[in-house]
Amino acid sequence: MPDLLTGSGSAAVTTPKLTKLLLHVTIQRSLGAVRVVMAPEATTEDLIVTALRQYEKEVRLPLIRSSDASGFDLHYSQFSLESKFLIRLLLYIR
């Protein structure tokens, strides 16, 4: 019989490791969020660059002149707590 209190044995439940995160990034003055799938180890700069590439790929307006990550700031949305599994971020042009 498995030992259910210590978690050892064949009945033990393991927590799955996060492999990807779905992030919603709204670019300043743009309608709607860009959806980006990232690894949990990604840096803020990686997220900004990926969001800008996706924004350009979707041909969104207004057009962004620069895709240099240093020209942008990333902030949590005031609505980011609406779901514990959804992260909303705002990307501001400096």
Would you list the domain boundaries of the chain? 21-93
Work out the pLDDT band at 50, boundaries 50, 70, 90.
Answer: very high
Q: Are 30 and 61 in contact (CB under 8 A)?
A: yes
pLDDT for 24: 85
37/74: higher pLDDT: 37
pTM, entire model: 0.67
For residue 62, say if its preceding peptide bond is cis, omega within 30 degrees of 0: yes
Work out the pLDDT band at 79, boundaries 50, 70, 90.
Answer: low
pLDDT in tens, 2-46: 555 555 555 567 877 778 888 888 888 888 889 999 998 888 889
C-alpha span between 87 and 92 (Å, rounded): 16
